[in-house]
């Protein structure tokens, strides 16, 4: 039987090659499994078959002591659960020690979003004809207008944006491609950036990236976060991240009457249950719509208050 180190290496190779996870997720799983391996070594466990239920409970307790976010603990649990499924399938172990452990479901956090007025105030900070501001305006409009993840925005290629037809395609998590319509405001910002901004930043048009920096190379995640943080401070907004823009996109679509399935497709969620959290965010608005427009919401019937 392989040692624990070897088994973990084999599992990570499997995760990277066969499960189709995003690079960031694979890296996070690697960190989780290193923590797991360290905890098992501390407890004297040398091989997968040495690990029992109490060892896994001890590892989960160590995550609590680190005061990690609920999402990080859930991901680490998922990584270890996947490891033992892999080990069982590869006959490294005879029984799965996680089988008796209940899956601790994290409490789903309602995502933070900005109001339409806050979005406009944020975008107002990018006004100007400087190529960098033209790029930033276009990037913010596209992320908010299309619900992109920041990783999808910074890796967006020129060839994947059809300005004439008004849509773009991105490769999201699990290398899944999806097409998303681009709204009028985002198209306008893109056209201005492409005509007056990008040619200055990349005069030789050698970069395939849509959004480039002063040296003509694609903007990085960190670079965009820094720019966004600066605009948010100028607008008097706090805790604004690219993901907040994505959450705002989904919430505003639902508030505008979009159906959940369409929002799911545009966000690139594999499971509709992931998208359903936005129904909680938009719940008050939907109740107001019901009150205003449904006959049972508007009518007051005699005797209703008589119990």
Residue 195 has pLDDT above 90, yes or no: yes
- The domain spans of the chain are 4-89, 116-289
Residue 173 among the catalytic residues? yes
106-111, long-range: CB < 8 A, 24+ apart: 106/70, 106/71, 106/73, 106/74, 107/70, 108/277, 109/70, 109/71, 110/277, 110/280, 110/281, 111/243, 111/244, 111/247, 111/251, 111/277, 111/278, 111/281
Task: Tell me which of 73, 246, 247, 252 is the catalytic residue.
Answer: 246
Mean pLDDT to the nearest integer, 228-254:
91
Give residue 269's pLDDT: 83
Task: Tell me which of 81, 121, 173, 285 is the catalytic residue.
Answer: 173
- 189 vs 224: CA distance, rounded Å: 17
Tens digit of each residue's pLDDT (9 = 90 or more) over 87-103: 999 999 998 988 866 54
Give residue 73's pLDDT: 84
Residue 278 among the catalytic residues? yes
Banded pLDDT at 176 (limits 50, 70, 90): confident
Neighbour tally for 23: CB within 10 Å: 11
- 184 vs 181: CA distance, rounded Å: 10
Residue 147 has pLDDT above 60, yes or no: yes
How much is the CA Rg of the chain, to the nearest whole Å? 24
Neighbour tally for 207: CB within 10 Å: 18
Give residue 106's pLDDT: 43
Question: Is the domain covering 4-89 a CATH 1.10.150.130 domain?
Answer: yes
- The CATH architecture annotation of domain 116-289 reads Orthogonal Bundle (1.10)
Residue 296 among the catalytic residues? no
Bigger pLDDT: 24 or 232?
Answer: 232
Task: Tell me which of 135, 137, 149, 198 is the catalytic residue.
Answer: 149
Q: At 6, phi and psi to the nearest 5?
A: -65, -40
Buried-state track 52-62, b at ≥16 Cβ within 10 A, e below 16:
eeebbeebbeb
* Burial category of 231 from C-beta neighbours within 10 Å (exposed 0-12, middle 13-18, buried 19 and up): buried
Banded pLDDT at 239 (limits 50, 70, 90): confident
Residue 121 among the catalytic residues? no
Q: Best-predicted range by mean pLDDT among 153-157, 174-178, 285-289? A: 153-157
Residue 246 among the catalytic residues? yes
Extract the runs of DSSP E, i.e. beta strands, from 20-84.
none
pTM above 0.75, yes or no: no
Residue 107 has pLDDT above 70, yes or no: no
Neighbour tally for 32: CB within 10 Å: 22
C-alpha 93: how far from chain center: 34
- 98 vs 218: CA distance, rounded Å: 43
Q: Are 114 and 237 in contact (CB under 8 A)?
A: yes
Tens digit of each residue's pLDDT (9 = 90 or more) over 47-102: 999 998 888 988 888 887 776 777 788 889 889 999 999 999 999 999 898 886 65
Task: Tell me which of 43, 160, 221, 243 is the catalytic residue.
Answer: 243
Tens digit of each residue's pLDDT (9 = 90 or more) over 245-296: 999 999 899 888 888 888 888 998 877 767 777 766 555 555 565 566 666 5
Give residue 35's pLDDT: 92
Mean pLDDT to the nearest integer, 295-299:
56
- Cα distances from 306 to residues 205, 273, 301, 302, 303, in angstroms, run 74, 40, 11, 9, 5
Residue 269 among the catalytic residues? yes
Give residue 297's pLDDT: 55
Give residue 290's pLDDT: 55
Helix (H) or strand (E) holding 152: helix 150-154
Give residue 295's pLDDT: 66
Tens digit of each residue's pLDDT (9 = 90 or more) over 3-47: 999 999 999 999 888 766 778 888 889 999 999 999 999 889 999
| Residue 151: closest CA among 139, 162, 159 | 139
């Amino acid at each position: 039987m392989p040692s624990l180190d070897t088994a973990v290496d084999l599992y990570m190779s499997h995760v990277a090659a066969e499960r189709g996870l995003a690079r960031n997720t694979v890296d996070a799983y690697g960190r989780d499994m290193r923590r797991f391996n360290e905890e098992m070594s501390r407890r004297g466990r040398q091989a997968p078959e040495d690990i029992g239920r109490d060892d896994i409970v001890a590892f989960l307790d160590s995550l609590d002591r680190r005061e990690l976010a609920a999402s990080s603990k859930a991901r680490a649990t998922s990584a270890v659960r996947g490891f033992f499924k892999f080990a069982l399938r590869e006959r490294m172990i005879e029984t799965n020690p996680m089988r008796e452990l209940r899956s601790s479901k994290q409490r789903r956090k309602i995502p933070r979003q900005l109001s339409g007025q806050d979005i406009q105030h944020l975008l107002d900070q990018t006004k100007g004809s400087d190529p960098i501001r033209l790029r930033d305006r276009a990037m913010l409009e596209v992320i908010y207008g299309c619900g992109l993840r920041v990783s999808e925005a910074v890796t967006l290629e020129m060839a994947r944006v059809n300005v004439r037809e008004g849509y773009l395609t991105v490769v999201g998590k699990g290398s899944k491609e999806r097409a998303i319509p681009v709204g009028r405001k985002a198209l306008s910002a893109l056209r201005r950036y492409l005509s007056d901004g990008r040619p200055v930043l990349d005069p030789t048009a050698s970069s395939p990236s849509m959004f480039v920096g002063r040296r003509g190379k694609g903007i990085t995640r960190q670079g965009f976060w820094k720019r966004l943080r600066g605009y948010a401070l100028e607008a008097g907004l706090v805790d604004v991240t690219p993901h907040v823009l994505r959450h705002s996109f989904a919430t505003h679509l639902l508030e505008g009457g979009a159906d959940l399935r369409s929002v799911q497709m545009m966000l690139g969620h594999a499971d509709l249950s992931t998208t359903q959290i936005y129904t909680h965010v938009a719940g008050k608005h939907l109740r107001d719509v019901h009150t205003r427009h449904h006959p049972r919401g508007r009518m007051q019937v005699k005797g209703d208050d008589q119990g």
